[in-house]
Structure 1
Amino acid sequence: MSEDDAPGEAQLERRRAAIAWWMRLDSGATTPAEREAFAAWLTAEPANKVAFDDICRLWGDLEILRPRLQPAAKPRPRFTRPGLRAAAAVAGLALALALSYDELSIRWRAGHLTETGELRSLLLEDGSRVELGPDSALETNFAGGERRVTLLRGEAWFAVAPDAARPFSVATPAGTATALGTAFDVSIQGARTEVTVTEHRVRLSGAGPSVIVEEGAQSAFAPGVAAVSPYPVDTDQVTAWRRGKLIFDDKPLAEVLATLSRYRRGYIALVDPSLRGRRVTGVFETRDPEAALRAIQKSLGLRAVSLGFVTLIGG
């Protein structure tokens, strides 16, 4: 490698490391030793922190993942009514964008679709079972000896019927999860896809080398981003939605609200973006998302104003 090439290669490796740390930290399953290793990496070179902040800004989670080794943040602005109209306009624009061409494309492609709050059990033609989460869309393709489904949106749990001659794979925007005689959960969370294995193993193939995820573990990947090393998770907690419960353990508020949005009609908008990283822990019933929202507001000291189809939340 020439000297001219070195800076570019170093920058690329630093960016890859930043992405890997982002996804590992976002999983919520880091150990104290890993957090210490991350802090050491972050402070080893100024360029490391720049790379990590760039990734966080790209995926909108700087406040969520920034280590809590810094001075306390300045007080957040209070949620006042004079700003409601402007906030409602922004929320309305976001809602309009959500109902754009992409939404129409998903509805056109999907062979199986669930609406807000709806769960559906499916039996595919090969005998595999699927539990499709709310506000989710699935496309199937069993032609030409393939067993390939595409999760276009949302979340689904798969119990795969054995067929050694025809591997079963689930495609997402991040890559492909191929069953190795298994049951597993696939969830699209914004820019990333999370795969949780409840039985046997799954192979993830995306932008980088393939990764094998064993039973009781989870991995995540994103478009153009390789799957991170698998980490242990509580699979009963991850798949609690199948039993009518949502369990959050120190999850960021933005992610929690995005999940709740699959179970309630209307749009939830955070007036203050700095609230995205507030942490939420709790067990909630999927049949009563409004109670969950009220409990979260109370526990975090937030306020909500309903403007018909849009609910605004602020500090």
Structure 2
Amino acid sequence: MRNNEHLSGDLFDQANEWYHRLHGDSVTEADRRAFRQWCAQSPDHEAAWEEVQTFAADIRMTLARPPVHAAASAGRRSRRLRRRVLAAGGIVIAVTVGVQAPSSWTDRFRADYLSGHGERRTIALADGTTVILDTDSALRLLPDSEGRGVALLHGEAWFAVRHDARHPFRVWSGNGQITDVGTRFDVRHLDQTTTVAVAEGAVDVSVGSSSALPPDHLRLTLGQGVTYGRDGLGGMQEVDVSAIGSWRTGTLVFQQRPLREVIAELNRYEGSRLVLATLSGRDRPVSGTFTVGTGSTALPALQEALGLRGLRVTPWVTVLY
């Protein structure tokens, strides 16, 4: 294998994103064609992809060892993987189902406001509206010609809107928009799916504007939420108001969520990415409240509740089994 030390971190980030996309449940033939075109752009693109696969294979080899031998070899393998991770600019591979893919790197060029991994950021807009960005989120301001509002490119955000009936505030997210009717609400946009929950007042949610997906709309009030995506607008659901936007205080609340989804959510905050080593039990329901960020209790609480063991393969990857 060629020496890849000179390759840029951006290329490794792109290769890592392709790895996630190609191993996802929704991969299409168009995705595969686009990947082949990306890989053919230069020898460095091919080298970055080769390094990504080698890193993933190293983790799999560690997982394949019996626990005693895995622990004995973890130091040696971790040192080698650590060098590769540093050369890759912090790349992290998900080798099994249940780990959320990283946000689109292209959003960073389109956004007016960004939050980093594990960061919360408060933004005071010129119209008096306050926005709090959750971890790894991207927000773009709408041009004046489109009125008051923003586009949530990815991630999650809390909105405390200064109401103005003559100039409504709108949030564009995915294939829909949320219009303020005087409120505080939370919007989450990940994996081409948007979830809206109202903590005060009301919002109008509208989705679809093409012949393939006719327009649909719904008004949400206090304690109500809805999810929409490629298949249109879902049904209204009752939401625990105390749990809406709980991430603002470093708390995540799960109610009968599959383990794979809980792990994917925790990975948005934890410094070491959690990888579920086996598909067995990945849909096991999980309920509980976890503290994330500084002083996080999420990993030990999850291990104690479900009887999971952890293997820290590198400072950036912890395998649960």
- Would the TM-score normalized by the shorter structure come out above 0.5? yes
Q: Percent identity?
A: 36
1:113 aligns with 2:114: yes
Change (3 A) 1:200 1:168: same
TM normalised by structure 1 equals 0.66
1:202-232 CA-to-partner distances (Å, cap 9, x unmatched) read 111113411111211010001x222222111
Q: For 2:300, which of 294, 301, 306 is the aligned residue?
A: 294
Cross-structure match for 1:202 = 203
Task: State the alpha-carbon separation in 1 of the partners of residues 311 and 176 from structure 2.
Answer: 39
Change (3 A) 1:283 1:131: same
Task: State the alpha-carbon separation in 2 of the partners of residues 289 and 189 from structure 1.
Answer: 25
Residue identity matched to 1:273: L
Q: 8 Å contact 2:199–2:244 — kept in the other structure?
A: no
Q: 8 Å contact 2:165–2:181 — kept in the other structure?
A: no
Task: State the alpha-carbon separation in 1 of the partners of residues 300 and 225 from structure 2.
Answer: 30
1:31-58 CA-to-partner distances (Å, cap 9, x unmatched) read xxxxxxxxxxxxxxxxxxxxxxxxxx65
Q: For 2:268, which of 262, 266, 285 is the aligned residue?
A: 262
Alignment map for 1:67-106 (pairs within 5 Å): 81=65, 92-94=92-94, 102-103=104-105, 105-106=106-107
In the TM superposition, what is the alpha-carbon distance from 1:289 to its structure 2 partner? Answer: 6.7
TM normalised by structure 2 equals 0.65
Change (3 A) 1:82 1:92: farther
Task: State the alpha-carbon separation in 2 of the partners of residues 130 and 256 from structure 1.
Answer: 25
Task: State the alpha-carbon separation in 2 of the partners of residues 235 and 257 from structure 1.
Answer: 23
Q: Tell me, what secondary structure is at the counterpart of 1:154?
A: strand
Task: State the alpha-carbon separation in 2 of the partners of residues 116 and 58 from structure 1.
Answer: 25
Task: State the alpha-carbon separation in 1 of the partners of residues 66 and 175 from structure 2.
Answer: 41
Cross-structure match for 1:122 = 123
CA RMSD of aligned residues (A): 2.9
In the TM superposition, what is the alpha-carbon distance from 1:196 to its structure 2 partner? Answer: 0.1
Change (3 A) 1:189 1:106: closer
Count of matched residue positions in the alignment of Structure 1 and Structure 2: 233
Q: 8 Å contact 2:255–2:288 — kept in the other structure?
A: yes
1:56-93 CA-to-partner distances (Å, cap 9, x unmatched) read x659xxxxxxxxxxxxxxxxxxx7536989xx99x955
1:218-249 CA-to-partner distances (Å, cap 9, x unmatched) read 10001x22222211111211321122211212
Residue identity matched to 1:271: A
In the TM superposition, what is the alpha-carbon distance from 1:191 to its structure 2 partner? Answer: 3.7
Q: 8 Å contact 1:263–1:289 — kept in the other structure?
A: no
1:166 aligns with 2:167: yes
Change (3 A) 1:94 1:301: closer
Q: 8 Å contact 2:170–2:177 — kept in the other structure?
A: yes
Q: Tell me, what secondary structure is at the counterpart of 2:281?
A: helix
In the TM superposition, what is the alpha-carbon distance from 1:272 to its structure 2 partner? Answer: 1.8
Cross-structure match for 2:319 = 312
Q: 8 Å contact 1:306–1:312 — kept in the other structure?
A: yes
1:246 aligns with 2:246: no
Residue identity matched to 1:81: R
Which runs of no fewer than 5 residues in structure 2 stay unpaired? 1-24, 28-62, 75-80, 85-90, 209-214
Q: 8 Å contact 1:249–1:281 — kept in the other structure?
A: yes
In the TM superposition, what is the alpha-carbon distance from 1:287 to its structure 2 partner? Answer: 3.1
Q: For 1:272, which of 267, 274, 278 is the aligned residue?
A: 278
Residue identity matched to 1:270: L
Q: Which shows bigger deviation, 287-296 or 182-191? A: 287-296
Task: State the alpha-carbon separation in 2 of the partners of residues 94 and 262 from structure 1.
Answer: 13
Task: State the alpha-carbon separation in 2 of the partners of residues 183 and 129 from structure 1.
Answer: 10
1:73-130 CA-to-partner distances (Å, cap 9, x unmatched) read xxxxxx7536989xx99x95549x9569x31x11111111111221111110111011
Q: Tell me, what secondary structure is at the counterpart of 1:210?
A: strand
Change (3 A) 1:225 1:164: same
Change (3 A) 1:268 1:278: same
Task: State the alpha-carbon separation in 2 of the partners of residues 252 and 288 from structure 1.
Answer: 25
Q: 8 Å contact 2:270–2:293 — kept in the other structure?
A: no
Q: Tell me, what secondary structure is at the counterpart of 1:241?
A: helix
Residue identity matched to 1:217: Q
1:285 aligns with 2:269: no
Cross-structure match for 1:152 = 153
Q: 8 Å contact 1:260–1:289 — kept in the other structure?
A: no
Q: 8 Å contact 1:216–1:232 — kept in the other structure?
A: yes
Which runs of no fewer than 5 residues in structure 1 stay unpaired? 1-56, 60-78
Of Structure 1 and Structure 2, the greater helix share is in 1
Cross-structure match for 1:143 = 144
Change (3 A) 1:213 1:278: same
Cross-structure match for 1:220 = 227
